[in-house]
Chains A and B, each alone.
Chain A
Amino acid sequence: MRRLAVILLALGLAGPARADVDAALDRHILPAFAGFAGAAERLADAAVADCRPRAVAPAYQAAFDAWMAVADLHIGPSETGGLSIAFWPDARGFTGRVLSQLIADEDPVAFDPLGYAEMSIAARGVLALEMMVFDPAYSHYDKGSYACALVRAIALDLSRQAVALEVAWRDGFAATLRSAGGAGNATYLTGDEALRALYTQLLSGLEFTADQRLGRPMGSFEQPRPARAEAWRSGRSLRNVLLSVDAAQALAHTLSGGALPQTDAAAARVHAMAGRVGDPGLQGVSEPQGRLHVELLQQAVRAMRAAIEAEIGVPLGIAPGFNSQDGD
């Protein structure tokens, strides 16, 4: 059996690049990383031109929008690379602590954009920038201040990260996915595994949106936790939920190639439910009515996950991880 696999491999019969993996890379993933790199560069340009919150905010919003198209990919260069771009959830409040320390010390790293790459990931990326620009505890700074230099350093570092990530996907990891099952590929041993990996990202991304992006601020009925919402300071928690769902829908279509009526209907329902959630930062979870709307939205996201499982996972015969689901 094993010998047969070796022979097939030698003949080039096992592990041909899957058309669906190619489509996902060429039509969704790689263009999205290029788009994010462009948006992050414009954000850095904006911060260099004028570091003050009002000047930086629009480019920040655009860059975060672009990031959401690939934010839920956690494979290859994004496995750890994504965390220093969007460090969230921040269960222990690292970001505030590190930024406060930097400001208190007037740490010279803010004047060394290259050196900033060595900083804790909690002090890097869009959420560190968000805290500086949108949190009143940090955002009252002026041109020429230490905070101004820090904002520029974070934006420049973010832009460099975005380029590095795009290059790592385009010139490195894309080939690993496309050559699944090829000789020497220790990440994807059979042709199916690359497709499986991307499909798994779809499911775990929607899970993350339901459990974390929506679940964290919901907290418990007795104790809602609005300040645990993602990017609530810049009022984009709800927008991130929708963009993550849109990205999952787009990726699902490139992977499947066929019609996905259940997935599309589920995505439309997510948008409909989101329309009833009033506050863009999900701060309404503190009120019973507001919490209910977020809970309905959460259910709609979970329904979309189920639809993708039914329309893509079941036909492909992909089951959840044997060991990752076991736990012992």
Chain B
Amino acid sequence: MTTRRRFLATLLAAGATPRLGWAAVGNPAFLAAARAPDGGFALYGLDQTGGVTFRVPLPARGHAGAGHPARAEAVAFARRPGQFALVLDCATGRVQHHLAPPEGRQFNGHGVFVNGGTLLMTSEQRAGDSRGLIGLWDVAAGYRRIGDWDSGGIGPHDLRLMPDGATLVIANGGIATDPFDRTKLNIPTMRPNLTYLDLDGTIMEQVELDAGLWKNSIRHLAIRADGLVGFAMQWEGEEGAAPPLLGLHRRGEAPVLAEAPLGDELAMKGYAGSIAFSGDGAEVAITSPRGGRLHRFAEDGAFLGAVSRADVCGLAARGGGFLASDGLGGLIAVTAQGARPLGHVDCAWDNHIVTL
């Protein structure tokens, strides 16, 4: 059996740069950032059973991340207003690159690899007026900044590559923020949208909800293999209004809003933190750490049920169902049959789980 040391030695002897694939770090299925018990922060690799395959330290609290499609390399994004993103070698924990947004720009917490991992795209905003931008980074050239596109809105947050590999979908949250903190500046006039860009940066389609829902910030995205887009929202309007927090959209069609019964909707506290389609694609779920709840919906938007779990936020497809993580260190498997504990790690899982 080849030891890891011998494997590394072989690579070095062959003169290859040690750019290892995900197999070298235990074939994680997921990436998740967390706060460790000592108060420090780290990025974890998790396998399908919730087991930790690797753990590398982070210098500060992260938000989301992106995993390179082939190499054991992850980009961890700072929380908003983000001044850094780190490219990490998940085998060694070494920081390979420090990415900083250009002068007067801020990272907004999410990014995605495109073109087979040759290009990284980051959601950003102009510090002065929160105008949304998509930053472009040439991965092969050592993550060199090569340009940016207009995101088609204010305060973009999540962004994803569509299954065609040629379209980007962006959640323009609509919220303008203070350049130095998260103070929201434009709640009365905010106007979020969902924007589709082709890989030249041209706007292909934009989707807005009715004016009564403009205070519903579109923030997180999940994509099904057939191109169905799920978007999760966070309500900035009056408390107790219980608006829908999930929308489903198919290119060229009107969005479908998914609502839970009033009592369940109120218990979500107007806030969805993460979204994912189930592994079999038949369901879509959102989490609310404020409400300590996960809501499951059918693909047509019909409410299927709730799972209660304190501080739950991270969400990804697992098996036919879902994997949920929470601030108490819990990893929970959720299926149509119910929820069961999968594991518990002595840490506080952060907002998102990234599927590799």
The finding on whether chains A and B are genuine partners in a shared complex, rather than unrelated, reads yes
- Contact of A187 with B343 in the complex, beta carbons under 8 Å: no
Residue positions of A touching B, CB distance < 8 A: 1-2, 5, 74-76, 79-81, 83-84, 89-92, 94, 120-122, 184-187, 189-190, 193, 196-197, 200, 321-324, 326-328
- Contact of A1 with B346 in the complex, beta carbons under 8 Å: yes
Per-residue contact bits, chain B 73-84, to A (CB 8 Å; 1 contact, 0 not): 000000110000
- Contact of A79 with B308 in the complex, beta carbons under 8 Å: yes
| Residue B290 lies at the interface, judged by CB distance under 8 Å to chain A | yes
A322-B311 contact given A186-B339, A190-B344, CB 8 Å threshold: yes
- Contact of A189 with B273 in the complex, beta carbons under 8 Å: no
Interface centre among B157, B238, B290, B308 (most CB of A within 10 A): B308
- Contact of B328 with A2 in the complex, beta carbons under 8 Å: no
Enumerate B235-270 residues with CB–CB distance to A below 8 Å.
Answer: 238-241, 261-264, 266-267
Interface residues on B, range: 35 or more
- Contact of A91 with B341 in the complex, beta carbons under 8 Å: no
A197-B338 contact given A83-B266, A321-B289, A324-B327, CB 8 Å threshold: no
- Contact of B271 with A327 in the complex, beta carbons under 8 Å: yes
| Bound-complex Cα distance A328 to B110 (A) | 11
| Bound-complex Cα distance A89 to B51 (A) | 43
- Rounded to whole Å, the gap between the CB of B33 and the closest CB of chain A is 11
| Bound-complex Cα distance A328 to B52 (A) | 25
| Residue B356 lies at the interface, judged by CB distance under 8 Å to chain A | no
Per-residue contact bits, chain B 288-303, to A (CB 8 Å; 1 contact, 0 not): 0110110000000000
Residue positions of B touching A, CB distance < 8 A: 35, 51-52, 63, 79-80, 109, 157, 182, 219, 234, 238-241, 261-264, 266-267, 271, 273, 289-290, 292-293, 306-313, 326-330, 332, 338-341, 343-346, 348-351
- Contact of B327 with A89 in the complex, beta carbons under 8 Å: no
Pairs across A and B, CB under 8 Å, 16 listed: A75-B292, A80-B266, A83-B262, A91-B239, A120-B262, A184-B340, A186-B309, A186-B332, A322-B348, A323-B273, A323-B327, A323-B350, A324-B289, A328-B63, A328-B157, A328-B182
Closest to A193 in B: B328
Residues of chain A with a CB closer than 8 A to B271's CB = 327
A91-B340 contact given A193-B310, A193-B328, CB 8 Å threshold: no
- Contact of B267 with A79 in the complex, beta carbons under 8 Å: yes
Residues of chain A with a CB closer than 8 A to B338's CB = 186
A200-B240 contact given A80-B267, A324-B327, CB 8 Å threshold: no
Closest to A2 in B: B343
- List the 5 closest A-B pairs by CB distance, nearest first: A322-B327, A91-B240, A323-B289, A80-B263, A186-B339
Closest to A6 in B: B343
A323-B239 contact given A84-B263, A121-B262, CB 8 Å threshold: no
Residues of chain B with a CB closer than 8 A to A190's CB = 328, 344
Residues of chain A with a CB closer than 8 A to B313's CB = 323
Residues of chain A with a CB closer than 8 A to B290's CB = 324, 327
- Contact of B52 with A2 in the complex, beta carbons under 8 Å: yes
| Bound-complex Cα distance A89 to B242 (A) | 11
Interface centre among B241, B266, B307 (most CB of A within 10 A): B266
- Rounded to whole Å, the gap between the CB of A220 and the closest CB of chain B is 14
Residues of chain A with a CB closer than 8 A to B346's CB = 1
A328-B241 contact given A186-B341, A323-B313, A323-B351, CB 8 Å threshold: no
Residues of chain B with a CB closer than 8 A to A89's CB = 239-240
| Bound-complex Cα distance A81 to B263 (A) | 8
| Bound-complex Cα distance A197 to B330 (A) | 14
Residues of chain B with a CB closer than 8 A to A76's CB = 308
| Bound-complex Cα distance A184 to B307 (A) | 14
Interface centre among A120, A185, A193, A196 (most CB of B within 10 A): A193
- Rounded to whole Å, the gap between the CB of B38 and the closest CB of chain A is 14
Closest to A173 in B: B308
- Contact of A2 with B345 in the complex, beta carbons under 8 Å: yes
Residues of chain A with a CB closer than 8 A to B311's CB = 321-324
- Contact of B327 with A321 in the complex, beta carbons under 8 Å: yes
| Bound-complex Cα distance A84 to B182 (A) | 35
| Bound-complex Cα distance A323 to B263 (A) | 22
